[in-house]
Amino acid sequence: MGRIAMAVSVFGELLITAGLVLGLFVVYSLWWTNVVADRAADKQGDKVRDTWAHAEDRDTGPGALNTKNGIGFLHVPSMSKGEILVRKGTSTKLLNDGVAGYYTDPVKATLPTSGKNGNFSIAAHRDGHGAKFHKIDKIRKGDPIVFETKDDWYVYKVYAILPETSKFNVKVLAPIPKESGRKKAGHYITLTTCTPVYTSTYRYIVWGELERVEKVDADRTLPKELR
């Protein structure tokens, strides 16, 4: 009987230890990775804004070309109060720095700075590592999505949302995103992230269409949608 009691006691201690380890892992995944990622994103964002501030030629720099630290900032008031740095690529390593990334594969995104018709498709994490798209489900049709570059504000309007689709569905990134209901070439933006929250089973998609472009003034006055 004593051996059974001892075995039960040891097993109970192991369960408690396993629970503590699991709890610490959850804290690390959902909190500490956000802290680390936000610090990294802020540092990179500061470098981009510093580059803009010291650019002597307004036709060069992050507003017009891809740079190491980022090309601009995404503002989505209904999803996030802060700005989201956008960089080139959608690798896990890159997104883990608390930024959003535009697609280069399997479908290449069309940058708004190019002036060409196409789809500016972007991805970011929904949980952990900055979780910049955590509240993507708060976005509604008609909401603004604003992309800020050194020289311009690109103001988009959300027109379609797909709450769940296969992670292998690359059609949502097409230059003409027909799954959103559009059939003609235009200037589109697509936000993608994992869903449901805390999983990577499916993808959540938000589509917007360009309404206008505003030049950035000396004071970097925000578009009315962000005031």
187 is a catalytic site residue: no
* DSSP per-residue letters across 23-82: HHHHHIIIIIHHHHHHHHHHHHHHHHHHHHHH-S-TTSSTTTS--SS-SEEEE-TTT-SS
Of 129, 134, 187, 194, the active-site residue reads 194
Counted residue by residue, the chain has a size of: 227
What lies within 8 Å, CB to CB, of 119 at 6+ separation is 107, 109, 110, 173, 174, 175, 176, 177, 188, 189, 190
Of 75, 125, 129, 134, the active-site residue reads 125
75 is a catalytic site residue: no
What lies within 8 Å, CB to CB, of 103 at 6+ separation is 90, 109, 121, 122, 123, 173
Query: Among all residues, which ones are annotated catalytic?
Result: 125, 194
